[in-house]
Amino acid sequence: MALRDLIKPHVRALEPYQPGKPIEELERELGISGSVKLASNESPLGPSPKAIAALQKSFANIHRYPDGASFALRRKLAERLGVPGEQLVFGAGADEVLELLAKVLLGPGDECVYAWPSFAMYPIVVQGMGATSVRVPLDRDYVHDLPAMAAAVNERTKLLFVCNPNNPTGTAVGAEAFDAFMGSLPEDLVVAVDEAYVDFARRPDFPDALAWVRRRPGTIVMRTFSKIFGLAGLRIGYGAADPELADYLQRARHPFNVNRLAEVAAAAALDDREFVERVTGSNVRGLDYLSRELRGLGIQVWPSEANFVLARTGAGTYERLLQDGVIVRPMAGFGLPDCVRISVGVPEENERLVKALRRIREGGA
């Protein structure tokens, strides 16, 4: 008997996640150096300095298991969000919270509704449990088509994701549409609002999803320390859920799923308001610069509420930028072969990307 016959069919059918390659590896392959990576929506300003300082003090304690209840971080975050501490569920990245949701809610025959293109982890966690993805195309403007998503809900739907702002398009839905949508849904499904990029959103009518955690049973809002706080490498994110759902997610997680260093760094980063302001300020300037310059080159750019832009640069751009030492995210896997997703960098990185795109547009090498 072959090993593959022992593997559960829905696991066998999984496609491996395609991560951006490490810079060192790409440079080796291409024989280049000094490349820039604008591919994974990481903080271009590095991590929060307060987080680094706190980490340095805690290195000597890594022989100890983490605090399985994340006591200090939980208390601080609960106060910040105005959510009772018991309603917070921490994970090794928000990715783990997604996975916990799937584990707790989904099995063969169950359906999970989400928009597409959207976050690449949704299909992975759904299929990982042998459940069925129901993908609802974004509307003409590449915004979540909330009425169509509501219409896709049926008696098999256990879970629905809303990614706001949406990755990889950067688009966001406003409060009016969001509130109407949430109010229209039946009660017997879990709604998970993925707010990984909430701190970058600028539109004044950005929805208050946390208010729905208080109002609607079975609602969870997910956030991460990976993006705004620059802690992607430590792996920490969380969900703020209605109390009953939070309780089940807690039971399903591993007792030490969040590592000690991540807990310490996240708690310190929460207090680093100056860093958050620097990151958001730099992001706004970078977004405006990239949008203006790319449009100037005749490239379609979607309005972004996040720390990246989706740009219709034409097929083959990803590979040509690579040759130039600029790493962006190809979008072919999302059904957008003529688009790339570009993370906002520091000014020199953004300028380098624009120059490379200009050379490509002008037919140079």
Ligand X SMILES: *Cc1c(COP(=O)(O)O)cnc(C)c1O
Q: Which residue carries 């706001």 as its tokens?
A: 164
**Out of 94, 125, 159, 269, the residue judged to bind ligand X by CB under 6 A:** 94
- Cβ atoms of 114 and 101 within 8 Å: the answer is no
Nearer to ligand X, 137 or 314 (CB): 137
Binding mask 150-169 for ligand X (x = CB under 6 A): -------------x---x--
Binding mask 114-153 for ligand X (x = CB under 6 A): -----x----------------------------------
Q: How far is the CB of 216 from ligand X (least distance, A)?
A: 21
How many CB atoms neighbour CB 271 within 10 A?
15
- Cβ atoms of 208 and 196 within 8 Å: the answer is no
Q: How far is the CB of 11 from ligand X (least distance, A)?
A: 21
* Residues numbered 17-46 forming contacts with ligand X, rule: CB under 6 A: 41
Sign of CA dihedral 246, 107, 129, 39: negative
To 10 degrees, the CA torsion angle through 147, 154, 110, 98? 30
Which H or E run contains 28? helix 23-30
Identify the three-state secondary structure at position 114: strand
Q: How far is the CB of 227 from ligand X (least distance, A)?
A: 6
Q: How far is the CB of 196 from ligand X (least distance, A)?
A: 4
**Out of 95, 305, 324, 349, the residue judged to bind ligand X by CB under 6 A:** 95
Among the candidate windows 18-26, 89-97, 320-328, 350-358, which touches ligand X by CB under 6 A? 89-97
Please confirm whether the linkage preceding 168 is cis (ω < 30° from 0): yes
Nearer to ligand X, 93 or 123 (CB): 93
Torsions phi, psi for 227 (to 5 deg) = -95, -70
How many CB atoms neighbour CB 338 within 10 A?
14
Nearer to ligand X, 70 or 354 (CB): 70
- Cβ atoms of 344 and 308 within 8 Å: the answer is yes
Among the candidate windows 76-84, 220-228, 277-285, 350-358, which touches ligand X by CB under 6 A? 220-228
**Out of 70, 157, 226, 317, the residue judged to bind ligand X by CB under 6 A:** 226
Among the candidate windows 5-13, 92-100, 183-191, 336-344, which touches ligand X by CB under 6 A? 92-100
Q: What is the C-alpha separation between 143 and 131, in angstroms, rounded?
A: 25
Binding mask 244-263 for ligand X (x = CB under 6 A): --------------------
Q: How many residues bind ligand X (CB under 6 A)?
A: 14
Binding mask 42-81 for ligand X (x = CB under 6 A): ----------------------------------------
Pairing of strands 237-241, 88-91: antiparallel
CA atoms within 13 Å, Cβ hemisphere of 301: 20
Among the candidate windows 66-74, 81-89, 93-101, 340-348, which touches ligand X by CB under 6 A? 93-101
* 111 part of the interface to ligand X, by CB under 6 A: no
How big is the chain by its Cα radius of gyration, in Å? 21
Residue nearest to ligand X (CB): 93
Written as one string, the DSSP assignment of 116-164 is ES--THHHHHHHHTT-EEEEEE--TTSS--HHHHHHT--TTEEEEEEES
Q: How far is the CB of 134 from ligand X (least distance, A)?
A: 18
Footprint on this chain of ligand X (rule: CB under 6 A): 41, 93-95, 119, 163, 167, 194, 196, 224, 226-227, 232, 237
